[in-house]
Amino acid sequence: MTDRPVRYAIWAAVSTERQAAEDKISLADQEERCRKSAQAQGWVESAGPYIVPGETRTAFINLRDAEAAIPELHQMLNDAERKRFDVLAIYDYHRLRELMDPVYRTLAAYGVQIYNATQNLPIQPPDEYNKYRDDTAWMMMQLSNIVSRNQVHDLRKKYEAGMPARVTKNGVPAISIPFGYHKPPGRELDSKAIPIQDPAKALMVIKFKDLLLQGYSIRKLVDFANGTGIKAPRGGAWGVATIRDILRNPFYAGYNRWGMSRNFTDPRTGKSIRKRDIDPKEVIVEKGFHQPLWDEETHARIIAELDARGNSYRGKRVNQLSSLLYCNHCGASMWLQHNGPRSEPDRAIWRCSKRDTCGQANILSSQAIAQAGQILSAEISKINDPRQPKKENNFELEQSALAKLLKSRDRLGDLFQDNGMEKDEYLRRRKVIDRQISEIEEKILNAKSRIIRAAERQDALKQFSGLVGGIPRWMETDDPATINQFLRYVLTGYRVHGDKIIEIIFKDED
């Protein structure tokens, strides 16, 4: 037996929101309690702490899956295997939930004990540790595992019964309050409080309804919403799906609902999946106690209007050359439209976005892709051509001017120190010189940045040297997102005159 102190590491964890009803102790509290208890016994902290904020510890079939999902667990087990600590200190056994048994057995194989700071049971000397000599700790762990499972099952039972009851008996939303409503002042923590209308946001929802029934597209509604300065329900910008979901929600016609989606845990992997294809017959819809924004007839009109239009939104579609084509006449970006000749696939045509005042650039999508590929291919072929003149990145004039200004500033300071100039005059002239120095330093910095960007562009283009002659084909067949990502790395875009691309603009040249 050696005289070295016991080395320990701390494990602290909290449950997910769904499991957190009885999980009141914070991560900081757990860490402090474990550290105080360990230090009181003269132990030395040699690894960790391993802090797990809001990760479930009940959904894993085996320890390997848990390690993949919880990096802190993986690191802790690796450190235990490397003998970096003798004892893992935890606030209580619930910090590991159903991982308790496999973690206990794994740590025991590495010669590491688990110390429960709440129970404060004595540990064995690390050099003499044998898990079979301590039945008390093992029994307490098994009992904790049973209690933990019972708590989780009880929470789930209450959740499955309580949430529908909020809709059917209490007349309030099951979980979150829909956009446009909030709880009455002073009752923010009251789970049975009836939501009231937020004046500005409720008017916004009514405007959604009015615009939709007047024939405006959801895209127009998105533009309107983003122009109000009011953020979407989850913060940030508004989107098509968010507004469509709001308009379909019967809450605004006076009804609450429950069961539109459900969590399903795969018993083989332990992964939680959100299922949204719920049979409408299984969804609970009940009259609420809140003041609606419109009646049931209006709600039916909204649903009929949305159904008649069809659910055309399929997420953001990426098009080749998106945000890369510019009108040579007015400089405006070009927009992809689908009103070109029928001979063109999807009738896709790029048009100047300022059609009312300019509209002098119009190029078919297929022609734009072909021409963009050809001009890029030609530029790539020049990279290793010794006949091509090399661009000079000479900023010696700026550096010379900077040196002169620095000398002038020094002479001005000497003159002032020798009492050859009044303070006000010195400060006035010093301010002028400092401004000139700042302007030249910025020019030099920009010139150096251009050199770096040009070198990076050359390196990126060289990667495509082997595709010379095949660039147009690559642009026609590869994934549009991949194509655009590469092009935007090296290009500002292409200039289009009439129905032809006339120039390629590299980022170090704009």
Co-location of 212 and 276 in the same domain: yes
pTM (2 d.p.): 0.37
Model confidence pLDDT, tens digit, residues 342-383: 888 878 899 998 877 888 899 999 999 989 988 888 877 776
Q: Which domain holds residue 110?
A: 7-151
In a domain, residue 172? The reply is no
In a domain, residue 315? The reply is no
Single-letter code of the amino acid located at 418: D
Q: Which of 151, 166, 201 is the last residue of a domain?
A: 151
Band the pLDDT of 189: cuts 50, 70, 90: confident
3 CB contacts (<8 Å, ≥6 apart)? none
Co-location of 56 and 138 in the same domain: yes
User: Is the omega angle on the peptide bond into residue 49 within 30 degrees of 0, that is, cis?
Assistant: yes
The first and second tokens of residue 340, run together, are 């070109």
480 CB contacts (<8 Å, ≥6 apart)? 318, 319, 320, 322
Co-location of 52 and 81 in the same domain: yes
What is the tally of structural domains in the chain?
3
Band the pLDDT of 209: cuts 50, 70, 90: very high
Look at residue 404 and tell me whether its pLDDT is greater than 60.
yes
Helix or strand run (H / E) with residue 503: strand 500-506
Co-location of 415 and 294 in the same domain: no
461 CB contacts (<8 Å, ≥6 apart)? 379, 380, 383, 490
Model confidence pLDDT, tens digit, residues 405-458: 888 888 888 888 888 888 888 888 888 888 888 888 888 777 777 666 666 666
Buried b or exposed e, range 196-205, using 16+ CB within 10 angstroms: bbbeebbebb
Contact (Cβ atoms closer than 8 angstroms) between residue 265 and residue 211: no
What distance in Å separates the CA atoms of residue 310 and residue 300, rounded to the nearest whole number?
15
Count of CB atoms within 10 A of residue 495's CB?
A: 18
Q: Which of 245, 278, 309 is the last residue of a domain?
A: 309
Look at residue 3 and tell me whether its pLDDT is greater than 50.
yes
Tell me which of 115-119, 390-394, 397-401 is least confident: 390-394
Co-location of 434 and 330 in the same domain: yes
| pLDDT (0 to 100) of residue 490 | 76
What distance in Å separates the CA atoms of residue 430 and residue 447, rounded to the nearest whole number?
26
102: left (phi over 0), alpha (psi -120 to 50) or beta: alpha
Band the pLDDT of 501: cuts 50, 70, 90: very high
Co-location of 343 and 486 in the same domain: yes
Co-location of 359 and 267 in the same domain: no
- Burial grade of 38 (CB within 10 A; 0-12, 13-18, 19 or more): buried
Contact (Cβ atoms closer than 8 angstroms) between residue 306 and residue 248: yes
| pLDDT (0 to 100) of residue 271 | 56
User: What integer is the mean pLDDT of 236-264?
Assistant: 81
Contact (Cβ atoms closer than 8 angstroms) between residue 345 and residue 365: yes
List the CATH number of the domain containing 93: 3.40.50.1390
SS3 20: coil
Co-location of 188 and 130 in the same domain: no
Look at residue 159 and tell me whether its pLDDT is greater than 80.
no
The label of the residue with tokens 């049975």 reads 192
508 CB contacts (<8 Å, ≥6 apart)? 450, 453, 454, 457
Buried b or exposed e, range 350-369, using 16+ CB within 10 angstroms: bbbbbeeeeeebbbbbbebb
| pLDDT (0 to 100) of residue 17 | 42
Strand residues in 349-474 grouped as ranges (E)? 349-352, 362-364
Co-location of 410 and 442 in the same domain: yes
Look at residue 100 and tell me whether its pLDDT is greater than 70.
yes
In a domain, residue 422? The reply is yes
What distance in Å separates the CA atoms of residue 414 and residue 430, rounded to the nearest whole number?
12
In a domain, residue 314? The reply is no
Contact (Cβ atoms closer than 8 angstroms) between residue 1 and residue 124: no
What distance in Å separates the CA atoms of residue 392 and residue 396, rounded to the nearest whole number?
11
The first and second tokens of residue 337, run together, are 């439209």
- The phi and psi torsions of 486 (rounded to 5 degrees) equal -65, -45
List the CATH number of the domain containing 191: 3.90.1750.20
Co-location of 275 and 363 in the same domain: no
What distance in Å separates the CA atoms of residue 17 and residue 242, rounded to the nearest whole number?
24
What distance in Å separates the CA atoms of residue 494 and residue 333, rounded to the nearest whole number?
10
Co-location of 333 and 302 in the same domain: no
Co-location of 265 and 147 in the same domain: no
The dihedral formed by the CA atoms of 333, 339, 344 and 348, expressed in degrees to the nearest 10: 30
